[in-house]
Amino acid sequence: MEPGGRCWCLVAGLWGLWASVAGGPGLYQGGVDPVWVLEGATVREALRDAAWAWVVQFYSSSCGHCVAFAPAWKALAADVHEWESAIRIGVLDCGDEANYETCKEYGIQYYPTFRYFRAFTKEFTTGESQLGSDRELPTVRQSMIDFLQNHSQEAKPPACPSLEPIVPQEMFTLFDKKIQHYTAIIFESENSYAGREVMLDLIAYDNVSVKRVLDSDPVFLEKLGISSLPSLYLICPNGTHGLRNVLKPLRSFFSSYLKSLPDVRRRSPPRLPTLAGRDGEGDGAGVKDWKDFDPSKVYMADLESGLHYLLRVELATHKTLEGSELRTFKSLIALLAKLFPGPDPTVKLLETLHVWLVSLPLDRIPYNAVLDLLDNKMRMAGLFLPSRVRWIGCQGSRAELRGYPCSFWTLFHVLTVQAATRPNALLNTGLEGDPRAVLEVMRKYVRDFFGCRACAQHFEEMAKGSLGSVQTPEEAALWLWEKHNEVNARLAGDLTEDPKFPKAPWPSLEACPSCRRGGSVSRKGQLPVWDETEVLRFLRRHYGSGNVEYRYAESRPDAEKAGSPEEGREEERKARGSFLGFSSLDMSLCIALYGTSSLFLILLFVFFRMRSRRRKARPGRPHV
């Protein structure tokens, strides 16, 4: 696919054009949207010892599913804005580079992730998950109420009213009291949430209180004339009382009616939530420092930025790798080490990482060991991967569009083409001889590590249905192209589409006139009739190493600087046999030494940890 023009995602979110990983505001803006926009530097302070509970969405601005879900989450926050003195809705952008480490501390691996935090919590906690509360908004509201009711009496937010029902006898005592405010009583069934929702809707209002009574006593209901549930019964300050008819027996109608009563006033005017560093951030439209690019090129800056995010952020959310996850990671690194068409520092880094993983006879490794190798040991030897994001062909017209997923799919298109044009590149990796090797590694990576779970499930369903028909590396490249185009046609006009880069059949007529047997079609129409021979020729040319543009990249190959052909870069690297003064033997010895030392440290860690556990398990001596 064309990295500068068409980036398809896995679902309405993953297959759309995604957000930038760094720079610019996220999907939510403090002072503009009705959510509390949290930041990595201050989130602990905001959640610790708060006089209210929290429900926080940990999202990624590079997650298309999060982009699609954002309007619903904002609507929920606006709907329960009156509840904020009891429970608040917050968001934290894990796609913001400033928040990477914080999201790791909270154990966030997939997006969106929803966590609940209790009021008056003094120690650090990663929060609680509520089953079923991450999609349907009525379910989220109900989960928020359940969470509030699960607080102990001592830890309950002071502003939160008692949400438990009163018995009918208590209601009779209210008739005889001279109360200077309205008392509203919601009659409802046991499984109804309407009464508790109305209670929370009115906590910021004076001169009215709300209680609830269950339908456990039919005789009592009949005596009051209540024939349907839920119903509203009102006791007025002058002592009169009776059943009130509202337009519809729904929470919103009950709340609106009570707020409209004479002398019922909100204690303070409503305000949009803001936190330090987010006020007045602007409308978020557009991106800073736009860079002109050629959409017919693949940009190394995009590929290396994608590798940086993949290795240092997405994988780093997993503290340890073992079992199928470790096997997937090893396969991915083997694939990259053999097929990535990058400059020497990046390629040698991938090769070194591959040799190190092969040299470790372990079925479980801490990912911090991988990061230490990437960020410390290799840099000392002159091997490095750029440590910042710079999107070029994957820029979006707005900050929340495109970015990492664009580079992710561009990377795998490049790898399928490399596998098709270099049939012996994967020898001795365990992946040789499999025409679907690149696609299977992509499938497993998306399954095990990709942040959007809904996207991963969608991709798995798609792969399960058709991936088995791929019989050659050339068919693998065509499979990825074909599936992107199918989903692109289905999602044209979706919320995640970048208006500057509309999803149309690709390659376009301008990019490859010979690829189509038929003319252009409407965006919602049938796909063109493709000449797959010409399409494959186009894919080889577009994603071939000769079409990789190094402008804007942090590092460039020596061959490019000298003006030699791109196709000869790999052979030239091998012919030199050394890099920055290190011979192949030097590098092999360094890798072996580091692998041995890493193995020793890991075994030492396991030994002392097991010994510590055994000591804790021993019964203590009785005191004499």
Task: Show which residues are catalytic.
Answer: 63, 66
Cα dihedral across residues 301, 306, 307, 313: positive or negative: positive
Residue 602 tokens, joined: 């890991």
Are the C-beta atoms of 2 and 298 separated by less than 8 Å? no
Reduced 3-state DSSP string for 237-282: CCCCEEEECCCCCCHHHHHHHHHCCCCCEECCCCCCCCCCCCCCCC
Residue 380 tokens, joined: 């000392």
Which helix or strand (DSSP H or E) is residue 406 part of?
Answer: helix 404-421
Are the C-beta atoms of 61 and 27 separated by less than 8 Å? yes
Find the Cα–Cα–Cα–Cα dihedral 147, 153, 155, 161, rounded to 10°. Answer: 60
By DSSP bridging, strand 265-266 and strand 205-206 are antiparallel
Are the C-beta atoms of 385 and 344 separated by less than 8 Å? no
Give CA–CA dist 599/605, Å, rounded.
10
Which helix or strand (DSSP H or E) is residue 53 part of?
Answer: strand 53-59
Buried b (16+ CB within 10 A) or exposed e, 454-488: bbbebbbebbeeebeebeebbbbbbbbbbbbbebb
Give which of 619, 493, 430, 453 is closest to 109, Cα–Cα. Answer: 453
Are the C-beta atoms of 235 and 210 separated by less than 8 Å? no
Give CA–CA dist 309/316, Å, rounded.
9
Give CA–CA dist 527/521, Å, rounded.
7
Residue 102 tokens, joined: 């914080």
